Every structure is written in C-alpha cells, then in structure tokens.
Amino acid sequence: MTDAALDPATVAPSALQRGAALARRLFRHLSFRIGFVIVALLVMVAVVGPLLHTADPTAMQMRFRFRPPSARFWMGTDALGRDILSRFVHGARLSLVIGLWVAILSGIAGTIFGVLSGYVRAIDSLVMRIMDALLAFPPILLAIGINAALGPQVHSVIIALSVSYIPRTARIVRASALVVRELDYVQAARISGASGLRIVLRHILPNSVGPLLVQLTFVFAYAILAEAALSFLGIGPPPPTPSWGNIIAEGRDYSVEAWWIMLFPGLGISLAALGMNLLGDGLRDVLDPRLKIEG
Amino acid sequence: MLRLVAVRLTHAVPVLLIIAVLAFLLMQLLPGDPAVLMAGDGASAEAIQQIRERLQLDRPLWEQLVSWVTHLLSGDLGTSLTLNQTVVSAVAERLPVSLSLAVVSIAITVPVGILLGVIAAAARDSWIDVAVMAIALLGVSVPSFWIAILSVILFSVTLGWLPSAGYVPLSDGFLPWLLALLQPAIVLALFQVGFLARMTRSAMLDVLDQDFIRTARAKGAPESRVLWKHGFRNTLIAVLTVVGYIFSLLIGGSVIVEQVFALPGVGRLVVQAVLARDYPLVQGTLLLFGFIFVLINIATDILYVVVDPRVRYD
C-alpha cells in the first residue's frame, strides 16, 4: 500500500502490513493455531449447521424417543424425541452469540469506566471502589441475581454476564491508561495543547487494545461456561430454546440410560471454552509478552 | 499485629458499605411486588397494602436503604419471605455445609496443587509439566456441573463407591461427613488444582533462576532442600495470593456443585431464593458472599506478614 515513489524500506509499515506481520506471529504460536481451528469449526457449525441440518430443534416426535446415535440421528434423540444434533447446532449458535455479545458489551463498558477512572483523577477512587465491590460478588451469583431481575430471556443473560465482567475489563483498561498517561510523549502531546479527548482517543485507547483483547477472549470463554451454568440451573434462556446448558439439564435424569443427551452438549461447551482459552493464551503471549506465564 | 488487623478492617469499611448498597439496589431491580407475592392468590388489596406497610415497601427508596443499612449494623438482615425464619438464621443453618465443602476442597487442592507445581518447575518440559498445563487448561474450559454428573455416573451409579447426593453433619462422625463431601469436593478441587499448580510453577521458575539457588547448589545442598527450603519458601507470597483467590472461587463454584449433589448449603439457598423471589434472603446471601470475599482478601494480606517477615505495612 506504499506510494510507488517512496522506497518502501524507508516508510513506516502500513496498518495492513503490521496486521499481516501480527497474524504471522500469531499463527506461529501453537495454542493460537489450535484454538483458531476449534473456534473456526464451531463458528462454521453455528453458522452453516442450521442450513445443512434443517431438522426442527423443537419438533417432538414421540415415536423416536431416546434413540441412540445412529445414521439418522447423529447425536440421538431426547426424552421428547427431539433431534439432539439439531438442538446442539442451535445451542452452539446461542452460546457463541451470547459469548460474543458479552465480550463486546463488557469490553465497551469496561473501556468507558477504565478510561474515566484512569484518566479523570477525581472520580478514580469512587469508580474503582464500586468495581471492587462488584468484584466481591461471585460472577455466577451476580449473574443469577441480575438475570432473575430481568426475567428469563436471552438478552437478560447477556446483560447479566456483561455486568459481571465489567470490573475485570475496566481494571485492565485503567491499568494501561495509568501507565500511558505518564509517558513522555503523552505529556508532550498535552503540553502542545492536545485536548483530553484527543489524548484518550489517540494514545490511551490504542495502547489498551492489546491487553483488553486478551482479556475479552477469556471473558468470551467465561461467558460460554456461565451461560451453560445458568441454563443448567434453569435461569437461562427459557425452554424450548435449545441451549447447551439446558440440554444437559434435561438429559440429566436419563444420564445413565441415555448418555448421549448430555454427552454432546458438554463436549460442545468444553470445546468452545477450550478454543477461546487457547486463542487467549496465544494472543497474550504475542500481544503482551510481559504477562507470559511460560518459563 | 493487632494494629495491622485493625487498620486493614478500617480500610475495608467503604468497600463493605458499597457492597451493602449494591446488594440492596440489585434486589430493587427485581420485577414483581413482594407484597403481592406474600399475600398469596386472591388476597384483597387491603391485605396487600397492610403487608406493604409492614415491610415498609411504601416508603421512598432512600428511606428503605437507610433502614436496611442501620438494621444491618445491628446484625439484622430481615426475615425471609418463604422460609418463615430470619435471614441470619437461614444462612447460619446452611453455612456449615458450604464451609465444610470449601474446607475439604481446599484441603485437597492445596497440597496436590503445590506438589504438582513444584515438580513441574523442577522437571521442566517433562510429561508432568505438560500434564499440569493440560489440567490447568481443562479446569478453565470444562463445565463443572457436567463433570459432576459424569462423576456421579462413574463413582456412584456404576462403581457404587461414593454417595451421589446429600450431606451428613460432622456431629454424626468424621468419616460419614468426609465420605458425603468427598465427591463434590474433588469435583470442585479438579477445577482449582491446575490453576494453583500453574501459578506455583511460574513462581518457582522465577525463584529457581536466582543467584542464591545457584549458591545453595554450589555448596552442595541436596536438591530436595534447594527446591523446598530455598525455592518454595520464597514463592509463599505468590502461592498464598492464589490460595486466597481460589477460596473465593470456591464460593462461586459451590453454587453449582451444591445444586448437582443436593447439598443443603448457602449456594443452594441463594438459587432457591432467587427462583422464589425472596428479596430479603437474596439480599442477605449476596451480602454474605461479598463480605466473605473481602474478609478473605484481608486475611491474605495479613498472612503475607506471617509467611514472609520482610513484608511490612508501616
């Protein structure tokens, strides 16, 4: 993308070149590669699955109750004769959508609180005390409470989980903001008359993106697990909407005779969370080498 | 020491207060009118109004908040709407179950996690090292309730070794108590052991790189002494931090595990309370969980001084 008149070696790399270099480094990282493959596969299942496998996930066929996995029902059927594969595919879609929304919302809200707290000294202590207090409630408990307050719907699960993870994202952004605001070039920008908004947008936000992104992949994984737990407890998206958690809850009573009902969604949850965690490990090692846990 | 405890507790007061206010506000978000709920089906508007007055629900929000905080200061958390007992006694009745579960689980996690972490650091890149990493990764990826059900199928239904549900109080004997808690505690521990091992390992690797370790080896100290006395002793701060954090994770984890194993603990209580829209009970248990979390953090801070005399808070 460089201007032909300029020698490419003398100009700073374009955003595209930097992106490509980053992608190369990421794909050299083994856990990132594995995580990427797992997540990509699940995304494909969630996006393409309902188009290829068109069986209605809520259609009850009493003739076909408790069928073990077979050529016709790849993952078997449940107590109401519903096709587990089709419920699995829709559950995958729900899990990923919820995980994505929770990551986006807690990312945005965490960024706002983190920047405010890290940049506007006056409210720092108040905002962080509130975050500390929120952090004191176990996320699953906070989510149970908020979710009960909003009623059993997909969007209340998303809001409940987003609120639960805001303190974590806010802390990450605040930490970067505190470091960046003291850097010489930011001080220089301020002295040369840059507005607070400009400093936040040009300097603080770009420097927080890396650590925040790492944290958000982990939030994605937590959210998938927490949504499953909420659904399992009966406080998730309401039935008959298939979710991995409520398929397991429904299959629990038949877990010995009809093991397939709860086996596949459990594997789905584990794979999805594993994939996101591996992605996050890779991102952390590449974007934020200081946090590397490896020896 | 006493002064330290006092200072830490004073510093915690604002956070405790915010926790109390948040617990109160959170429940105000709940839809549905508790007065209608309490009065039951077909109650007259008068009866509902009476209950509303008795619960002071007709007062403005800030007045209710002030009264909630002042009652709190005298140890009164109100009365449960569904259980016909005070919140304090409902929680106190179930707290031993949850504490027992947490204690047994910690008693499994700490030695196993530390041992695995130290071995993994000593034998870097060996199969144990790889296994520790894998366990840690599975611990943050596999849903606990699913493992709990699979575990019941294997150990209770198929092998018949352990009970699948229920709680036996300590007063009925140590062994029956332990036996009832063993399976849920192991399931909970499974999710923390890898994390503790991983953190112990990285703390150990930092320490083992240092000069005094080389000196200890050079003067001929046996390797086990180098590892434990010189190495591990210096990771205690990091390990303690992680153990404190794990303890607070156990509280959240117990909500789900108590449900699967039908243990009548606080975690199960809070789920029932939410489903029954029992406001005072939810408020009270949320508050309790929040306070425990803060107290664990204070205890960790204070224990730093005990495990490492170099730490001072003056």
Per-residue pLDDT tens digits for A8-41: 555 667 778 888 888 888 888 888 899 999 999 9
Chain B environment of A228 (Cβ under 8 Å): 143, 145
Chain B environment of A273 (Cβ under 8 Å): 140-143
Q: What average pLDDT does chain B have?
A: 84
Whether the predicted pLDDT of A216 surpasses 90: yes
Q: Are A62 and A81 in contact (CB under 8 A)?
A: yes
- CB under 8 Å to B255, separation ≥6 — which residues? A138, A140, A141, A144, B267, B268, B270, B271
Burial of A169 (0-12, 13-18, 19+ CB in 10 A): buried
Nearest to A91 by CA among A126, A128, A53, A63: A53
Q: What is the Cα–Cα distance from B104 to A232, expressed in whole angstroms?
A: 25
The answer, for B92 touching chain A at a CB cutoff of 8 Å, is no
Which range has the worst mean pLDDT, A74-78, B90-94, B202-206, B241-245? Answer: A74-78
Interface of B with A in 173-232 (CB under 8 A): 198, 201-202, 205
Q: What's the predicted TM-score (pTM) here?
A: 0.85
Q: What is the Cα–Cα distance from A290 to A121, expressed in whole angstroms?
A: 26
Helices (H) and strands (E) in chain B, counts: 13, 0
Whether the predicted pLDDT of B205 surpasses 50: yes
pLDDT mean over A194-199: 84
Tell me what ipTM this predicted complex has: 0.82
SS3 assignment, position A234:
coil
Whether the predicted pLDDT of B124 surpasses 80: yes
- More reliable by pLDDT, A205 or A291: A205
B145/A232 Cβ within 8 A: yes
Q: Which of A130, A132, A250 has the highest number of chain B CBs within 10 A, making it the mutation to test binding with B?
A: A132
The beta-carbon neighbor of B19 closest among A136, A274, A294 is A136
Instruction: Report percent pLDDT > 90 for chain A.
Output: 19
